[in-house]
Structure formats: structure tokens, C-alpha cells
Chain A
């Protein structure tokens, strides 16, 4: 199984505060890898250091290496990295001033990349179909997204990320702001998507991780406690802390 992303000895600190301690992960291609752990364990920081969004908060210090197919992401331009690695956030955040159509193309439009009309049309349809939203919005593409439900907005955000044809899709607790039904549809979508894209999923929902992920990394207090095939980890965890978390003793 080829690994598309390699994280080696990653440590992240904000000022004096060490948030991630020496984490190493191998992310398998076209699989769902879940980062699981209680809130504040550093899983989101690991995710954001992959597309270098942590640099926004300034003063973040990163040690270690993050490489996409052997290419050091920290040697590249951050903008290029973010084009190759898409991200979906906790709260659906479509651009409120843009139509659904433009939202899907936002990665191109905002970067000033020119596309022909037919390229645009096919890209929009393809991305919305991939995000399982096409049938629901195909008659309203020119309307703004405000009338969409939370789950639909989140799928629009996924379509927006997919439109740039990323190698990896980072999902930062994508269902935690949604109702159970919408959350279920997003989970189903994740399983479909892994045919075409590698997914890293941050979640504190144990059941969700066990339902959709192929591999799971359990993090606690900034450390990587255990990493391996999900099936194995959820049935026979090696570490005592993993077992306690999975059985609901803390977190």
C-alpha cells in the first residue's frame, strides 16, 4: 500500500505551549485515516499543519517533516500546498456572496484562473456529483447557498474542495455541527470519496471513526498514543489509554 503523505517527528508549539509532541504518521493512499482523541489533544493542529493553515495564527513553531509523495511541504509555497490539499471545516462555510455555481469554482475564481464556459460547467457538475449534491441543487446553481440546509452546505464545501482535484482531503470534524441525519449522509459520502481521494478525518466521535476509517491514530495530550488499522484498534487496542478512551472511561 503506497503512502501518499508522511509525517515525521512533527512537533508544533504556540509560544511556550507545546500542542503536538513528536508525532509520526503514514497516510495511506485512497484510504480514510481518522485522527481520534478528546478535545485539545492536538489532532486539529496536526491536520492544519498538513496544509499549513496553522501558520495563520502566527507564532506557531513547527519541527519535523511533512512530505507529500516525498516532497517536503514546508519547502514549497504554502499557496501551492493548499491547492494540492483540500480542507473542509467544522462549520459549513460556503461564501455567502457567491452563487452555488461560483462556490464550487471558488478555488479557481478567487485565484484568478481562467476556465472556459464548458470547462466550468463540467467541473461544477462533476464536483457536485462527487459530493452527492448535484441532484438537489442542479436547478438552483445560480442562487446563493443561504437556503441550503447545514448538511447540504457542508457537501457544497466538500465539492468546493474537490473541484481543485486535491491529492488529500482534510476533514476537520465535518459532522459535529450537523444533525444526525446530515452527519450520516456526510459519513456515507466519505466512504464513497475514498475511491478517488485520500482522506484525513479529525473526529472525537469514536463511533464515526470506527464506521468510516481504515486507519486510526489515537492522540492524547499532544502525543500519538496508537496508530494502526481501525478494525484492529477498535477490537484489541494495544495501549491502556486507547482502551480507556474507547470504552468511555475519559474524554
Chain B
């Protein structure tokens, strides 16, 4: 009897500790969101989304330049990284053992570990110095390098999990290998591939360091791909450290928008994985 009582108590304690730790790990997110909501949401209004920052001393102004800039940068990065990442992911999942695949896999892993500031520096040397110009394209290229490993790995891992019986079924119908990959394997793994693309975007959206000396920043609204451009993380970095209250207010608002955007991408990815998962 005593034993049962002790076991129950231990069980309760253990459960309590685990639940407590789980709560602790969620707490920071809740606090961040709450804080941002409190500080940032207040500054959200129509002007905030539609106008670039005004000169100091003038009231109003918003972050339209950074919003547009971030979207353009992510667009460029996506166009560069998505096709390449997808193709490399397919290659790796189709060639599990070849020497080149092993090296590629290793290279992708290392690329994932390269600090983003270093990526920015490399792009600075490759794309900024030769043209003597900071640009959206250079910023997008830096973000693309950060997205690439995420896209490659999620594509590879998803496609790998597809049973080989499925591609054998297609091959046994006389379907050539490339068509089997394109018409059977990729559609079957679509949810995982799209998830990887969204997670890559989410990762790139929050990066500041690689943009410091590639996209550089721009206080004016710009749509030009070969001129410097503002981005949300850079605006936050620049304005939050400024002494002006008006700018700090914009930084809080921008943080809120950025976090909501990234959160949205992550949740969409999660939802798609559940919704589109193919049944075998």
C-alpha cells in the first residue's frame, strides 16, 4: 500500500516538473508577443503601412519603405533559392549513395552553419564591390544563400520518405526516370517542399546582418532592384538604437509586423504539412 502511495506521489511530482518546464519554454514566446502587442500594436494605423518615415520633427510617417523592401528582397531571394534548392534536394534524394551527393550534402550542412554576417560579407565582395553599388539584388542574393540549405534539406528529407514502391510503380509502367521524379515523386512530396520554402522565407525575413552591407538601407520608398533598399529588420536595428522617440515607436511597430509575418509563415507551413500530406 505504502509503495503505491509513494509511486503515485513520484508520478505526480514528475508530471508537475515536466509541465512546469514545458510552460517555461513557452513563456518567452508569450512574453515577447505580449510585449510587442503592447508596444507595437498601438502605432499601427493606415499611415504606418502606407508612408515612408518622415523627416525628424514631423509627425506621422510609417514603414512602407521597409515593408516594400523586405518583400522585394524576399522575392529576389526566393526566385534565386527556390528552383536551385528544389533541384539539389531532388538530386540528393535520388542519389543516396554517390560520392558527389555526399559532398553536396556536407556542403549544404556547412553552408547552413555559416554565420549570416559572413554570408553578407561574401556577397559584399562578390556583388557590391564590382558594381560599386549596394542593391536589392545583392541583399536578395545574401538572403538566398541563407534560405538555400533549408530548402534543400527539407526537400531531400520529404522526398526520401516517399516509399520506393511508388517510383517503382511508375517505372514499371514504362515511365522514364525524369518523368517519374517530376510527375510522381515531387507531387507526392509537395507539402514538405512547400513547407521548406515557407520556412526558408521565414528564416530570411528576420535576418539583419547579411543586409547591412548588401541592401544597406534606404529611408525612402524604393522599388529599384539595383539601388539600396530598406528592410524591416534593418529598420528596426537602425531606429531602435536611435535616441528619437518617434523612430523608436516605428521600430516597435515594425517588430510587431515582422514577428506576425514570420509567425504567419510558420503557421501556414505547419498547416500545409498536415493538410496536404499524401496518404500511402
Contact = CB atoms under 8 A, between A and B. Distances in A.
Interface stretch (A19-27, A103-111, A178-186): A103-111
Given A93-B165, A93-B166, A112-B179, A87 B184 contact: no
B187 A97 contact: yes
Contacts of A115: none
Main secondary structure of the interface of B (DSSP, over half): helix
A51 B175 CA distance: 12
A53 B168 contact: yes
Given A93-B168, A95-B184, A97-B188, A107 B173 contact: yes
A164 B173 contact: yes
Interface stretch (A66-74, A75-83, A236-244): A75-83
Interface string A198-219: 0000000000000000000000
B116 to A, nearest CB: 36
Given A96-B278, A111-B179, A91 B172 contact: no
B168 A82 contact: no
Interface string A83-95: 1001101110111
Interface string B153-187: 00000000001011011111111100110011001
Contacts of B188: 95-97
A97 B278 contact: yes
Contacts of A106: 169-170, 173
Contact of A79 (B163, B165, B176): B176
Interface string A113-141: 00000000000000000000000000000
A166 B166 CA distance: 20
B88 to A, nearest CB: 21
Interface of B: 163, 165-166, 168-176, 179-180, 183-184, 187-188, 190, 278-280
Top 3 A-B pairs, shortest CB-CB distance: A83-B174, A82-B174, A96-B278
